[in-house]
Structure 1
């Protein structure tokens, strides 16, 4: 079964309404499980959520996006803060927030030699060029507090 057929099935079973547009996989989504596009009515979904969390959680993400979809075409409040959206999401057992996929891993940790402020970074920084944002002290890649 392809994605659009799955979304149509969820729409019929959980909402009792037809899904008349297309659903697409979007690998570029990072912080969200899916998106609804009011301009043309299509839905985008992150395939990693299905891989990592399975079909049960992914179905809740689909319900979430279908809440946006159906409320928009009914002329009701379809945005996250709208009462109609919150109520329908609760009725169909949709998920409010997509679960996080992975924590960000930091390769480098820098410390202020003066105040001890910690700066986790993914990339290296030039210690001659940058200073502490809190006290303007020198930065080091070795923890001064542990050396005492």
Structure 2
């Protein structure tokens, strides 16, 4: 499927599911990695991740398109278009769009760094684990207001 076919498909889904035409551009963006698609507030265009189409097929991508069209139509009508807005949630459920896209196989998982530093209170011995290095002179113990010392784990 190319951008022209995607454009026609988005226009058809918009008319069929929302009853309103889609008047802007829809295109594939191969640089998208962690998202199925995105809607741009400034120019009202929609981009779709082509890897979702290759991996999960037309049905899943149609749900992603409906999700982005919910943002599109609500934003243009001046209603709540953000994920947390009740109007968005209601419209998404009404048109049977997906709330989240499926993760792609082989996509890098976010790895959590282990704690590398420990702040220890000189007075009471309370320990505060930290992933990033901090300046202990800027902080005090939350329990006794004692001085903190930085240790590497």
Scaled by the length of structure 1, what TM-score is found? 0.71
Correspondence list, 1:1-148, <5 A: 2-104=5-107, 133=116, 136=152
SS at match of 1:2: helix
> Compared with structure 1, are the counterparts of its residues 85 and 62 closer, same or farther at alpha carbon in structure 2 (3 Å cutoff)?
same
Runs of 4 or more, structure 1, over 3 Å off, are 103-106, 134-137
Q: Please tell me whether the aligned partners of residues 80 and 87 of structure 2 are also in contact (alpha carbons under 8 angstroms).
A: yes
Shift of 1:104: 4.6
CA displacement 1:101-127 (0-9 Å, x = unmatched): 024569xxxxxxxxxxxx999xxxxxx
Distance (whole Å) between structure 2 residues aligned to residue 26 and residue 68 of structure 1: 18
> Compared with structure 1, are the counterparts of its residues 46 and 133 closer, same or farther at alpha carbon in structure 2 (3 Å cutoff)?
same
> Compared with structure 1, are the counterparts of its residues 96 and 105 closer, same or farther at alpha carbon in structure 2 (3 Å cutoff)?
closer
Count of residues paired in the alignment: 116
Distance (whole Å) between structure 2 residues aligned to residue 105 and residue 79 of structure 1: 26
Scaled by the length of structure 2, what TM-score is found? 0.69
Shift of 1:38: 1.3
Structure ID, larger Rg: 2
Distance (whole Å) between structure 2 residues aligned to residue 22 and residue 67 of structure 1: 15
Aligned-pair RMSD on alpha carbons? 2.4
Shift of 1:134: 5.9
